[in-house]
Amino acid sequence: MNHFTQFESKELGQELLELAAAYKANPQLHASKGEGKRIGCIFLNPSLRTRVSTQIAAQQLGMEAIVLNMDKEGWALEMQEGAIMNKITVEHIKDAAGVLGSYFDVLALRAFPSLTQKEEDVTDFVLHQFIKYSGIPVVSLESAIRHPLQSLADQLTIQELTKGNKRPKVVLTWAPHIKAIPHAVANSFAEWTLGMGHDLTICHPDGYELDPEFTQGSIITNDQSEALQNADFVYVKNWSAFNEYGKILCTDERWMLTEAHLKNSPEAKVMHCLPVRRNVELSDEILDGPRSLVQQQAYNRIFAAQAVLSKLLG
Ligand code: CP
């Protein structure tokens, strides 16, 4: 594994899940593996969980973590080749990523999509610029189209709650939101859930079809009630339209998951990556009740990151 930016294979996924479970059982298992190594965590966008869990994960491997909030503390980056930099950008990605590559052993990057420049976003242009010019292993802390550390933690959570050889029914359900939200969490959840061999049903209002690259093999429906029947895991997430790129097409609050939606799903556990807009995406009664896995998911972010960094360290 040279970089960690997406789902690669079921074998690698299983290896990372086993390692994450081992670190959860004993966080100090390889406490000196990363001694003398540094990870640079570069944030072009805000974060709570990803920032802190990645730092804890690095520390538990004996690695030094340095965080740079590039959006607030760094120079405005120019991404275009051959740009005449006489406007607001101050430093070219070639120069910045080259320097960061010489300071660190691993680079971790959060770079959200524009939700306006579809062609750039779907190729994960910013992430690939950092990979190209840093010359060191790169971990995605959420890119324009994927959030693989979140998905690894989510798969660990599903694995922990799945009893015996049961094939769980996993549902990804769209939720309303007041802002246009990226597709990364939904894409990655689909990519990893299907990749790890689970059945996945995705439900959303008309017009919210995700990029088929991520959803091939799932059942896709506009009927939320039918999708939720007898579900074991219900992942709640908003995303903006993909075809009408970045648009908000629906604000129908009937899509917000409440206890009433789960009357025919007695076993259903509810997942969300957080941050969540309470009583917009998900009701208080679910978030504060026994179905909610959101705290377990967030805690598992530490061990997902620790497994990935450990694998990259070799
Ligand atoms: N789930 C997640 O990535 O949270 P943050 O945006 O707070 O890092």
Q: What is the pLDDT along the chain (314 residues), one digit of tens a residue?
A: 999 999 999 999 999 999 999 999 999 999 999 999 999 999 999 999 999 999 999 999 999 999 999 988 889 999 999 999 999 999 999 999 999 999 999 999 999 999 999 999 999 999 999 999 999 999 999 999 999 999 999 999 999 999 888 899 999 999 999 999 999 999 999 999 999 999 999 999 999 999 999 999 999 999 999 999 999 999 999 999 999 999 999 999 999 999 999 999 999 999 999 999 999 999 999 999 999 999 999 999 999 999 999 999 99
Residue 246 and residue 306 in one domain = no
Residue 197 and residue 115 in one domain = no
Residue 65 and residue 128 in one domain = yes
Strand 106-110 relative to strand 169-174, pairing = unpaired
Q: What is the pLDDT of residue 285?
A: 98
- Distance, in Å, from the CA atom of 288 to the CA atom of 232, rounded to the nearest integer, reads 18
Tokens for 257, please give them: 């998951």
Residue 123 and residue 175 in one domain = no
In a domain, 1, yes or no: no
Tokens for 206, please give them: 């008309």
Strand order in the sheet with 138-140: 64-69, 38-43, 106-110, 138-140
Residue 102 and residue 215 in one domain = no
In a domain, 253, yes or no: yes
pLDDT digits (tens, 9 = 90+) for 58-108: 999 999 999 999 988 889 999 999 999 999 999 999 999 999 999 999 999
Q: What is the pLDDT of residue 303?
A: 99
Residue 139 and residue 217 in one domain = no
Residue 290 and residue 158 in one domain = yes
Q: What is the pLDDT of residue 172?
A: 98
In a domain, 187, yes or no: yes
Ligand 1 atom nearest to 141, measured from its CA: 3
Residue 1 CA to ligand 1 center (angstroms) comes to: 24
First to last CA, the chain: 9
Residue 83 CA to ligand 1 center (angstroms) comes to: 32
Residue 63 and residue 114 in one domain = yes
In a domain, 5, yes or no: no
Ligand 1 atom nearest to 53, measured from its CA: 8
Residue with tokens 């009357």: 263
Residue 167 and residue 294 in one domain = yes
In a domain, 183, yes or no: yes
Q: How many domains does the chain have?
A: 2
Question: Which residues of the chain form beta strands (DSSP E)?
Answer: 38-43, 64-69, 77-78, 91-92, 106-110, 138-140, 169-174, 199-203, 219-221, 233-237, 269-271
Q: Which residues line ligand 1 (CB under 6 A)?
A: 47-50, 142, 150, 273-275
Domain ranges, residue 273: 150-298
Residue 53 and residue 93 in one domain = yes
Residue 107 CA to ligand 1 center (angstroms) comes to: 18
Q: What is the pLDDT of residue 164?
A: 85
In a domain, 2, yes or no: no
pLDDT digits (tens, 9 = 90+) for 254-289: 999 999 999 999 999 999 999 999 999 999 999 999
Q: What is the pLDDT of residue 23?
A: 99
- Give the count of alpha carbons within 13 A of 55, CB side only: 12
Residue 93 and residue 212 in one domain = no
In a domain, 96, yes or no: yes
Contacts of 19 (CB under 8 A, 6+ apart): 306, 307, 310, 311
pTM (two decimals): 0.98
Residue 108 and residue 238 in one domain = no
Q: What is the pLDDT of residue 165?
A: 82
For residue 54, the domain's CATH number is: 3.40.50.1370
261-291 burial string, b = 16+ CB within 10 Å, else e? bbeebeebbbbbbeebbeeebbbeebbeeeb
Residue 85 CA to ligand 1 center (angstroms) comes to: 32
* Residue from 41, 48, 149 whose mutation best tests the ligand 1 pocket (most atoms within 8 A of CB): 48
